[in-house]
Amino acid sequence: MKTTSDGPIGLFDSGVGGLTVARALARKLPHERLLYFGDTAHLPYGEKSPEAIRSYALGISRHLIEQGAKAIVVACNSASAVALDVLQAELDIPVYNVIDPVVAHLHRQNAKHIGIWGTRATVSSGIYPRKLAEVLPTSEVHTMATPLLVPVIEENLLRGEVTDAVVSLYLRDPRMQGVAHLVLACTHYPLIATQIAKQLESKVNLLRVPTIVANAIARELGDAGLLRQTPHPEPHHFAVSDYTDSFAKVSRIFFGKGIHLIEENIWGA
């Protein structure tokens, strides 16, 4: 397939959390059109097997390519952790992930004491400690599975006692002692970054992951000659595999009021 700069950028996640990356990318690259797919029928990916996640990721990526995507952004840490190699081997367009830009950022910061919050799939993959060990061999990396955060966010409980209690539970974990940089290694989590930040000690740097990822993807698309020079004539397109009013409501918080979700059941009945 011949890839040109005119096509849209495809992004996907297990739900609407990847819209945090889409929003940052839309702000960074206002000329680009985005095709977003949230696989809400299989939410959450963090509790699925690596084999299942790879199958979902490949199916969605092919669906986005059929819609004209010139590049794929895996806007999901779980899929980035276990499916990236398969996607890069099977697809003939560029595939970007949300992990490598964060690792590169921490490398530039020469970070020493790093905490990683993610899904069970991301943490079990060991990808963050492995990649960070390659560039920061003397750093301490503490990974924590924080599975209660995704359902809280998907239920639109973005602030209040429930969210504060879950955040407090994880922050009290002994592995958080001495952490100087905290990575929210799930694209859902930035939606409660304010609630997390207010409970953090002042010395802890909470990374702005969507912005870091968007800046890195913009650079790579530019290097590949895949950036549009004029505004795309069509609006962004947002789809989910299983539409509910709750997903529609929370999506407007993730991306903005202009979003309109439609259902595209690519998996069949």
**What does the DSSP 8-state code read for residue 8?**
P
Q: Quote the tokens at residue 211.
A: 């912005």
**What does the DSSP 8-state code read for residue 207?**
-
Dmax (CA) of the chain: 52
In three-state secondary structure terms, 7 is coil
Length of the chain: 269
Measured CA to CA, the distance from residue 60 to residue 127 in angstroms comes to 22
- Indicate the Cα dihedral angle 168, 77, 121, 139, nearest 10°: -70
Please identify which residue in the block is written with the tokens 């985005």: 34
Whether 250 contacts 153, CB under 8 Å: yes
Of 186, 214, 216, 221, which residue is the catalytic one?
Answer: 186
Cα angle value 240/245/249 (rounded, 5°): 90
**Cα dist from 114 to 41, 117, 211, whole Å:** 33, 10, 19
Of 76, 83, 114, 261, which residue is the catalytic one?
Answer: 76
Q: Which of 82, 76, 81, 73 is nearest to 51 (CA)?
A: 82
**What does the DSSP 8-state code read for residue 154?**
H
Q: Which of 150, 149, 148, 156 is nearest to 249 (CA)?
A: 156
Is residue 77 annotated as part of the catalytic site, yes or no? no
Is residue 76 annotated as part of the catalytic site, yes or no? yes
Catalytic residues: 76, 186
